[in-house]
Amino acid sequence: MGDVTEVATAIYGEARGESLEGQLAVGAVIQNRHFGPIPHLKGKTLTETVSKPGAFVGYHVIRNNINTNSPAWNNAFTIAGWVVNNTCPDPTGGCTHFDAANSSSIKTFEAWKQSKVGAGKIEIGGHIFAKEFSREDKTEPVYNPNATIIANSMRSSIFISGPSLSISGQHFTSGASQSQSASGVQPFVGYTLNRGFEIGIAISINNCILF
């Protein structure tokens, strides 16, 4: 499986019961870790980043029990495509960690957060988010209420990772993103081609992603 599927598995495993904003927040944490400046939070690939021991427990727990026909998986797969391209809207304002608010480890998380980044916190859905400071960035995270609005506007997009490819007369290059409409009805499609192309067409009808 490619990075998109692995990132989607992590998002689904950690936030399948959350709203779109809650799923975006987990996707943003993955993005902030992988593309951020802190070496110990990321791997060489996004798959390595989400599979690091102790990083995203839900990834390991759920990977063999995914309901690929569920709206939660469809959302997770769409968001994963944005994460791969480093374009996921971030409601957390740059957070790199989170824990469930009702988790047995939440007191430990709160203590870590206060010792590392101060007392500030961002709560989205059932999770509390925090940002680990780096040498380059010691700014507190600021909640972004517009992330979901941005995500909804991005749903009619095609993401591709892999070598350049021509589809229906349009030329796409690695990591490209371009809008595509089809008679006003745009179903979500995700699949992998022989040479490692990963393509996702994220579409919405009445603000719902279809698969």
Please state the rounded mean pLDDT for residues 195-210: 38
pLDDT-derived band at 56 (thresholds 50, 70, 90) equals very high
Would you say 109 and 49 are in contact if contact means Cβ atoms under 8 Å apart? no
Please state the rounded mean pLDDT for residues 129-154: 88
User: Which amino acid does the sequence have at 20?
Assistant: L
pLDDT-derived band at 130 (thresholds 50, 70, 90) equals confident
Would you say 163 and 195 are in contact if contact means Cβ atoms under 8 Å apart? yes
Asked whether the predicted pLDDT for residue 166 surpasses 90, the reply is no
Max CA separation in the chain (angstroms): 55
Q: Categorise residue 121: left if φ over 0, alpha if ψ from -120 to 50, beta otherwise.
A: beta
Per-residue pLDDT at 107? 65
**What are the tens digits of pLDDT across the range 83-128?**
999 999 999 999 998 988 877 666 666 666 665 555 457 899 999 8
Higher per-residue pLDDT: 80 or 165: 80
182 DSSP assignment:
S
Please state the rounded mean pLDDT for residues 73-89: 96
Would you say 190 and 199 are in contact if contact means Cβ atoms under 8 Å apart? yes
Q: How far apart are CA 198 and CA 174, in angstroms?
A: 10
Per-residue pLDDT at 133? 82
Asked whether the predicted pLDDT for residue 147 surpasses 50, the reply is yes
Per-residue pLDDT at 204? 37
According to DSSP, the residues that pair with 98 across neighbouring strands are: 129
pLDDT-derived band at 157 (thresholds 50, 70, 90) equals low
**CA dist 111 to 54, 66, 117, 121, 150, Å?**
18, 33, 10, 12, 33
Residue 200, Cα to own-chain centre: how many angstroms? 14
The mean of the pLDDT values for the chain is 75
Asked whether the predicted pLDDT for residue 54 surpasses 80, the reply is yes
Show the CA angle centred on residue 14, arms to residues 95 and 108, nearest 5°: 60
Query: Token digits for 11?
Result: 């998002």
